[in-house]
Amino acid sequence: MKTLRSYVAGRWHEAGTGFRTLVDPCSEEPIARASSAGIDFGHALAHATRQGGPALRGLTFAERGEMLARASAALHERRDELIQLSLENTGTTRRDSKFDIDGATATLAYYATLGRELADRRHLVDGDGVQLGRSPRFWGRHVRVPLQGAAVHINAFNFPLWGLAEKAACAILAGMPVLTKPATSSALVAECAVEILIEASVFPAGSLSLVCGSTGDLLDRLGPQDVVAFTGSVTTAAGLRASPKLISAATRINVEADSLNAAILGPDVATATETWAAFVREVTREIMQKSGQKCTAVRRILVPAHRIDEVEAALADEIDRVVVGNPREESVTMGPLATADQLRDAVDGVRRLREEARLVRGTGDRVDGVGNPAGRGFFFGPTLLRASDADKAGAVHEHEVFGPVATVLAYDGTAEHAARLVARGGGMLVTSLYTDDERFLADYWTAGAATSGRLYVGSEKVAPLLPGSGLVLPAMTHGGPGRAGGGAELGGVRGLDLYLQRVAVSGDRASVERLAMGGSDPASSAPEVR
């Protein structure tokens, strides 16, 4: 069995004790083990901050972007190997594995291009200069400079490569070294990816470290110049936020957590329209893609009350076409859940939902998978439920079942009612709205825009172009209020914010301008961000 290694302080570390076992979710056979026992986290952190930090801060955005381009190319070159590992480790179909691997290389490439655009500067100028008193000589500017600590990235199991890449791209482009920790259950992919990047000597020493296993005492060592970016459950996030050391050092923490995302069918959308087809196609994809183990997956489907039977029948038809099984089998369109724990949570979760919703499709229990021995594997069929009363429902709005599970709910056809129901989720990553009625859209905007980090509008005009509400594009912010964690990642240059300190600098106009514009040549302008 393979023993996963960590890469810290410029060398590979293999633990001798404290292992957790990774299993193939189809066969349930062990495939690797991981532990971070024996890592000197103080030394690892010091190496990152003393070597990686200064090296990155010494480079321009264009140079950092160039490294991200090389990282993207190096990973893309080994794409097939990474896809295969993802399949073995997380049970994803080839198509779903590509979603993770290609999403990672595309995000790195996106930030590489952004680095080129930000050009040969090392910080960002934020807005215009401002005269601060009666004399134009006393002048102020806002400038964003990289923090001088390390960025600790803690990722969830479901996107082992994309999670690593989207966080690392922003931190490294901003000029901060990264210590990345994949979820242990799916760490095989991240270990391989970091090995590829180290072999290719993409980043300067100390810029990228990998911790396979627990974070040990790393978080207790962080200070005010460090950053934690976390993706995972609300419960783990709450524990991190309550950490006395992180509180006393006021270490920045970004959280991406659970989300009860909603898809709303507008009252205007008739069947046999492009908008209807997009709604049915996309909601089905959101239920089954990556076996529903996506933070952006649709969990609640809001439908005008008089259309609910129609919607239920259309979605049930689509779901009946899904083939659940071992992704090594060609006919299979949906793989198993990633771990035994995920399966147990899905079974428990559906049991809770069934107290207020009836099953339309699915059994609420483990199933056998096509092309897999009976009784083996963490398979759970696509599951559609229908809530008896959307207003009275509790768990449907509050409990995220992290699997191929969604519930249809009736609303009265007004944007205000839809918005009230969506808000019961306590803060979402994304809400998708399928409508061609600008009035309905505007009413929803007024009543509910603030409850989700992203509003995705599907209409006739864009129906052929829609990528799916669950797709996180690097140009758009990923994150949402409340239960979704209150964090923000990506969103183009906004994604760098977490790793930059905004400094308000005031003084003699000429010297402030020289500092802000990046050196002795005030004539050449630094990239400006408003």
| Binding positions for ligand NAP, rule: CB under 6 A | 154-158, 181, 183-185, 214-215, 231-233, 236, 239, 256-259, 295, 400, 402, 429, 484-485
Q: Which is nearer to ligand NAP, 35 or 459 (CB)?
A: 35
Nearest CA to 145 among 129, 169, 166, 121? 121
What DSSP line would sit under 202-230, residue for residue? -S-TTSEEE--S--TTTGGG--TT-EEEE
Annotated catalytic residue, options 88, 191, 256, 356: 256
| Nearer residue to ligand NAP within complex by CB, 181 or 366 | 181
Per the structure block, which two tokens stand in for 266? 């507008």
Q: How far is the CB of 257 from ligand NAP (least distance, A)?
A: 5
Smallest distance from ligand NAP to CB 339, Å: 8
What is the side-by-side order of every strand in the sheet holding 252-256? 11-13, 6-8, 208-210, 178-181, 151-154, 227-231, 252-256
256 is catalytic: yes
Q: What is the phi-psi region of residue 49: left when phi exceeds 0, alpha when psi lies from -120 to 50, beta otherwise?
A: alpha
User: Measured from the CB atom, is 278 or 353 closer to ligand NAP?
Assistant: 353
Q: How far is the CB of 231 from ligand NAP (least distance, A)?
A: 5
Q: What is the residue whose two structure tokens read 């000597």? A: 201
117 and 178 in contact (C-beta within 8 Å)? no
* Distance, CA of 408 to CA of 308 (rounded, Å): 8
Nearer Cβ to ligand NAP (71/179): 179
- Is residue 235 classed exposed, middle or buried when 0-12, 13-18 and 19+ CB atoms within 10 A define those classes? exposed
Residue of 282, 295, 318, 356 marked active site: 295
Closest residue to ligand NAP, judged by C-beta, is 232
Dihedral angle of Cα 205, 208, 210, 215, to the nearest 10 degrees = 100
Least separation in angstroms between CB 329 and ligand NAP: 26
Helices 94-118 and 162-174: crossing angle in degrees, nearest 10, is: 10
Distances (CA, A) of 55 to 85, 146, 169, 415, 522: 32, 12, 16, 52, 25
- SS3 (DSSP) at 247: helix
Q: Any idea which residue has 């007004």 for tokens?
A: 414
Question: How many whole angstroms separate alpha carbon 449 and alpha carbon 69?
Answer: 35
CB of 427 to ligand NAP, least distance (A): 11
Sheet order of strands, 30-34 included: 2-3, 30-34, 20-23
Closer to ligand NAP at the Cβ: 372 or 407? 407
CA distance 365 to 136: 72
Whether the Cβ atoms of residue 330 and residue 284 lie closer than 8 Å to each other:
no
Residue 380 or residue 402: which is nearer to ligand NAP going by CB?
402
Q: State the nearest-atom distance from the C-beta of 345 to ligand NAP, in Å.
A: 8
Residue 45: Cβ-neighbour burial (10 angstroms; 0-12, 13-18, 19+): buried
Q: Find the shortest distance in angstroms from Cβ 235 to ligand NAP.
A: 7
* CB closer to ligand NAP out of 329 and 345: 345
Q: How far is the CB of 402 from ligand NAP (least distance, A)?
A: 5
Between residues 90 and 372, which has the closer beta carbon with respect to ligand NAP?
A: 90
Where in the sequence numbering do the catalytic residues fall? 256, 295
